[in-house]
Amino acid sequence: MSVVYAKSEGITLVGGGVLEAKTLDRALLAAPWLVAADGGADTALALGRCPDLTVGDLDSLSDTLRAVLGPARLHRVETQDDTDFDKALAAIAAPFVLAVGFSGGRLDHTLAAMNTLARNPGRCVILDTGRDLCCLLPPALALSLSAGTRVSLFPLGPVACTSAGLEWPVDGLAFTPLGRIGTSNRATGGEVRLTCDAPAMLLMVPPDALETLLSALSAAPPWPARVPAQ
């Protein structure tokens, strides 16, 4: 799929899941352009925000909503092998994407969103659930966090990490979703430094760390983009 919407600033991408106004407002302060993934257009409009673009198969949109958005704000993608999150992410380009409304309702939708993060290692995407910020950990990351800040690590596959600035260091641990995980760790105060050897580790920190996380990710080395299967 080719990119149809590109911005030099961050893009807020809204899904059709559970979303509070304060979460959407927080995202738009950092990423002012609003794109909806299919039914996310309803979610955005219910919170008083009109998306600049809506991407998806568009089957769930009512005639009234189509009229409000207009044809220029609609981009139909009819593939059935990926999620609304995948479709919308593939259609946009920005330095970073803040994804909201993709969790908090059905558990399968939340897991699918995390799968999308892992399948797009070359993109800077942060999932804001309202309670957590979740992103794929880059090869190396350094971010300043106050003492006691929760820092959770969850592996989506076998991966090894190193750390500094955590209450429980992770050096030498073999992480795997069927074995060792790293949730509910805590920062000791100051700079937290993390490295990992594969694009398979999710990082979760509280929402009030958004500015810090964005700054850290902008300075972090990226993973290579995944080559689509032929």
Give the total number of structural domains in the chain: 2
Same domain, 24 and 103: yes
Interatomic CA distance for residues 197 and 183, integer angstroms: 18
pLDDT at 84: 87
Residue 164 predicted with pLDDT over 70:
yes
At a CB cut-off of 8 Å and minimum separation 6, what does 31 contact? 9, 10, 11, 12, 94, 96, 97, 98
| Residue 182 phi, psi dihedral angles, 5° rounding | -135, 40
- Decide which of 82, 102, 131 is a domain's last residue: 131
Same domain, 117 and 185: no
Structure tokens, 135: 């992103």
Taking only the tens place, the pLDDT of each residue in 81-95 is 788 899 999 999 999
Tell me: do 34 and 127 sit in the same domain.
Answer: yes
Q: In the chain, what percentage of residues exceed pLDDT 70? A: 97
Q: Residue 150: pLDDT above 80?
A: yes
Q: CB burial class (10 A; 0-12, 13-18, 19+) of residue 19?
A: buried
Q: Which of 9-13, 68-72, 147-151, 207-211 has the lowest mean pLDDT?
A: 68-72
Share of the chain above pLDDT 90, in %: 77
Structure tokens that stand for 122 in this block: 């070359």
How large is the average pLDDT for residues 108-134?
94
- pLDDT at res. 36: 94
Does the pLDDT of residue 213 top 80, yes or no?
Answer: yes
Reference 101, options 146, 41, 159, 149; nearest CA is 41
> 122 near 225, Cβ under 8 Å?
yes
Q: How far apart are CA 15 and CA 117, in angstroms?
A: 14
Pair 42, 126 in one domain? yes
**In terms of pLDDT, which residue wins out, 66 or 91?**
91
Q: What is the pLDDT of residue 227?
A: 59
Residue 229 has pLDDT above 60, yes or no: no
Q: State which amino acid sits at residue 116.
A: T
Averaged confidence pLDDT in the chain = 92
Is the confidence at residue 23, as pLDDT, over 90? yes
* Domain's final residue, options 131, 163, 188: 131
Examine the domain organization and report whether 33 and 122 are in the same domain: yes
**221: pLDDT strictly greater than 50:** yes
Domain that holds residue 178: 140-219
Confidence of residue 1 (pLDDT cuts 50, 70, 90): low
pLDDT digits (tens, 9 = 90+) for 27-39: 999 999 999 998 8
Same domain, 145 and 124: no
- Report the 3 state secondary structure along the chain: CCCCEECCCCEEEECCCCCCHHHHHHHHHHCCEEEEECCHHHHHHHCCCCCCEEEECCCCCCHHHHHHHCHHHEEECCCCCCCHHHHHHHHEECCCEEEECCCCCCHHHHHHHHHHHHCCCCCCEEEECCCCEEEECCCEEEEEECCCCEEEEEECCCEEEEEECECCCCCCCEECCCCECEEEEEECCEEEEEEECCCCEEEEECHHHHHHHHHHHHHCCCCCCCCCCC
- Assess if residue 224 is contained within a domain: no
One domain, residues 21 and 111: yes
User: Whole-model pTM above 0.75?
Assistant: yes
140-144 average pLDDT score: 97
Residues 45 and 151 in one domain: no
- Min mean pLDDT across 85-89, 190-194, 210-214 is at 85-89
Do 88 and 2 meet the contact criterion of CB atoms below 8 Å apart? no
Determine the pLDDT at residue 230: 47
Same domain for 46 and 113?
Answer: yes
